[in-house]
Structure formats: C-alpha cells, structure tokens
Amino acid sequence: MVVQARSLHKRYGEVVAVESLDFEVARGRCYGFVGPNGAGKTTTMKMIYCIVRPTSGSLKVFSMDVIESPRQIKARLGVVPQENNLDPDLTTWQNLMVYARYFGMPREAARRRGRDLLDFMHLGDRAGTPVPSLSGGMKRRLILARALINDPELIILDEPTTGLDPQVRHLIWDRLLELKERGITLLITTHYMDEAQKLCDEIVIMDQSRRVDEGSPEELIRKHVPPFVLELRADRALAGEILGRFPEVSHQESGQNLYIYGGSPSDFDQMLAAWPQADHIIRPASLEDVFLKLTGREIRL
Ligand SMILES: Nc1ncnc2c1ncn2[C@@H]1O[C@H](COP(=O)(O)OP(=O)(O)O)[C@@H](O)[C@H]1O
Ligand SMILES: [Mg+2]
C-alpha cells in the first residue's frame, strides 16, 4: 500500500477536522476525496504530505510513519496544494529550479527534466515569464510541473482544477491519466463530480470530518441511486404538484431542480405526459446524485 490510514484524527483546538478515517491507497491507482468545503479533505492531504501532524491514529506513506519519517516520505512525493504557492518574485523556470535544488538534483539533470516538464505541461514558451504574468491555468500547470520535478511515485493534488476553464481542465486530466498509466499513484481532492468520475478508481465521500462512504464511481452510483434520472426545472409550487400526484416516487430536490429516479427512462412517461411543458432532461444517474443523497446538498458550494 502506498498510503495506509487507521483511525486517523486531527483536531485544531476545539475543531475536529478529521475523525476516525480509515483508508488504503494501492500503487498505481487514482484515489479521490470528495466533499463540501470544511469536510476535512485538505487536512487529510496535509497529513499525508507531512506538514500537518495527526492528533491520533496511524498514517503510513510508503510503509513509513508520517511522524517518524517525514523527510524520506517527502522526497518521494509531489504536491499540488490547494492554494497556489509559487514564488511571485521568480520566473516559471526559476520556480522549477528552486524545487530541483531543494531535492538536491544535479544541475544538468534538473535542467533537462525542467525542460521536459514545461513541454509536458504546454509551458515551453513561458520559461522566462514572471509568475504574476501567468494566467490562472498556467500557474496551476506550473505547480503540477513543479510537483513532478523529483520524479515522484505519489502525487497529491488538492483541487487541481478549481476555477479553471474547460480547456485547461481537460489538459490537466489528460496529463494525470498519462501519469497514472506510467504507474504513478494519484491522490486527488475535488469539488467536481465529473472530475472524480473521470479520474478516480476509488472515491471517498467525506462530510463534516468523516467518511460517509467509499467505492468506485460505478459502485457508489449502483449502491445509492436508481440508474435513470428525470431532471426537471421546477419551482416549489410545481415540485409540490408533481410530488402530490406521484407521492411514491424516489426523488431529491436541489435548488430549482427536482430529480426523479427510475429504473428505466419509460418510468417517466406518465409524469411527462401530465406536465408536457416542463423543462426537463433524462440522464443516467451520476456521482452528483450520490453526493446529494449522502450529504443532503450539492457539491459545488
Ligand atoms: N489551520 C487550521 N486551524 C484551525 N482550523 C482549521 C485549520 N485548517 C482547517 N481547519 C478546519 O478544519 C476543518 C476541515 O478543513 P479542511 O481540511 O480545509 O476541509 P476541506 O479541504 O474539505 O474544505 C474546517 O472546519 C476548517 O475550518
Ligand atoms: Mg480544501
């Protein structure tokens, strides 16, 4: 196992950030932590990359204890933290080289690797650009390049694509899938269910410092929601009307949306015949539905 947590707890004073967390991450897998703000995702990541000390429980990375062997662990992992922490006084290239030096890489090897990584992240023509002149997407890509400088076996990504445009998100996803194919283990936190579904083999849903459930995206969907969803744009009045007429139906409400669940698209025929004007789509159930059911709210906060 690359990461192994047993009864992991973290308290900040009175605040319990992570409670009784157990999980194991196998080599070469992409493991995702999803949950609303404040769920404890970042705290969990920080304990794994050894900058926050667990209050109790056991946490091993590469079979080493995070409290006993932080240096040895950090040498073998790469981190994309939630907040951009590039040095604003330096250029793209200098940011990479500072990290290479931190890991004690020989100069020529560092330069070669730096060039490869900038190309890999489509930043080859930005080497001399000062950090403040990079766009949000470029900064995020540079942080990912920087996380790879020491050829890590494990990469920890805390909300790698939050706030980025779709093109950059797709580029980052492609790169992460490529890294996974090379056998690198990925640990990712995200607010985006599409991201989790696309990248992760295994997902832990967290809410209020605890694990709510865990499984592959397909398993979680199969376990918690019927396979089809009729998504209706419905204000309170319309939702009340529909549910009054079909009181037995499995459903969830989220803002102005009413989600009705069914075993097949034809399950919705009667309802659509009764409200032919209703603005709607029929879609397969997704992780978004699972999340809503397990935490009682939408993921994007
Ligand atoms: N350094 C800190 N000091 C005090 N409380 C903290 C600190 N970091 C996080 N917390 C609290 O711990 C809880 C979990 O936070 P965090 O791990 O950042 O969640 P997430 O990443 O899922 O949004 C929150 O209630 C947060 O306010
Ligand atoms: Mg966070």
Q: What is the pLDDT of residues 195-233, one digit of tens each?
A: 999 999 999 999 999 999 999 999 999 999 999 999 999
Where does the pLDDT of residue 296 fall: very low under 50, low under 70, confident under 90, or very high at 90 and above?
confident
Q: What's the order of all strands across the beta sheet hosting 257-262?
A: 251-254, 257-262, 228-233, 280-284
Which residues, including other chains, have CB under 8 Å from residue 136's CB and lie 6 or more apart?
163, 164
Average pLDDT on 177-187 reads 97
Percent of the chain with pLDDT over 90: 91
SS3 78: strand
Q: Determine the residue type at 227.
A: P
| Pair 179, 117: CB distance under 8 Å | no
Ligand found nearest the CA of 13 = 1
Question: Closest ligand 1 atom, CA of 159?
Answer: 21
Q: Would you say residue 297 has pLDDT above 80?
A: no
The reported pLDDT for the residue numbered 262 is 96
Question: How many Å apart are CA 151 and CA 87, to the nearest integer?
Answer: 21
The reported pLDDT for the residue numbered 295 is 84
Residues with CB under 6 A from ligand 1: 12, 15, 17, 35, 37-43
Question: Closest ligand 1 atom, CA of 18?
Answer: 14
pTM here is 0.91
Question: How many Å apart are CA 117 and CA 103, to the nearest integer?
Answer: 16
The protein residue with its alpha carbon nearest to ligand 1, atom 27, reads 38
The reported pLDDT for the residue numbered 255 is 84
Question: How many Å apart are CA 197 and CA 207, to the nearest integer?
Answer: 18
Q: Would you say residue 185 has pLDDT above 90?
A: yes
The reported pLDDT for the residue numbered 76 is 97
Ligand found nearest the CA of 12 = 1
**Ligand 2 center–CA 42 separation, angstroms:** 4
The reported pLDDT for the residue numbered 298 is 56
Per-residue pLDDT of 274-283, as tens digits, reads 999 999 999 9
Per-residue pLDDT of 284-295, as tens digits, reads 999 999 998 998
The protein residue with its alpha carbon nearest to ligand 1, atom 26, reads 38
Question: Closest ligand 1 atom, CA of 37?
Answer: 23
The protein residue with its alpha carbon nearest to ligand 1, atom 10, reads 17
Ligand found nearest the CA of 83 = 2
The reported pLDDT for the residue numbered 25 is 97
Position of tokens 């056991």?
58
Where does the pLDDT of residue 191 fall: very low under 50, low under 70, confident under 90, or very high at 90 and above?
confident
| Pair 289, 221: CB distance under 8 Å | yes
| Pair 134, 146: CB distance under 8 Å | no
SS3 85: coil
CATH tag for 3-216 (out of 3.40.50.300, 3.90.1720.10, 3.20.20.80, 1.10.510.10): 3.40.50.300
Reading the block at residue 202, the tokens are: 């295994």
Domain boundaries, the chain: 3-216, 226-284
Q: Would you say residue 299 has pLDDT above 70?
A: no
**Ligand 2 center–CA 252 separation, angstroms:** 26
Question: Closest ligand 1 atom, CA of 33?
Answer: 22
Residues 35, 37, 40, 41: is their CA dihedral positive or negative? positive
| CATH fold for domain 226-284 | Alpha-Beta Plaits (3.30.70)
The protein residue with its alpha carbon nearest to ligand 1, atom 1, reads 12
Per-residue pLDDT of 3-22, as tens digits, reads 999 999 999 999 999 999 99
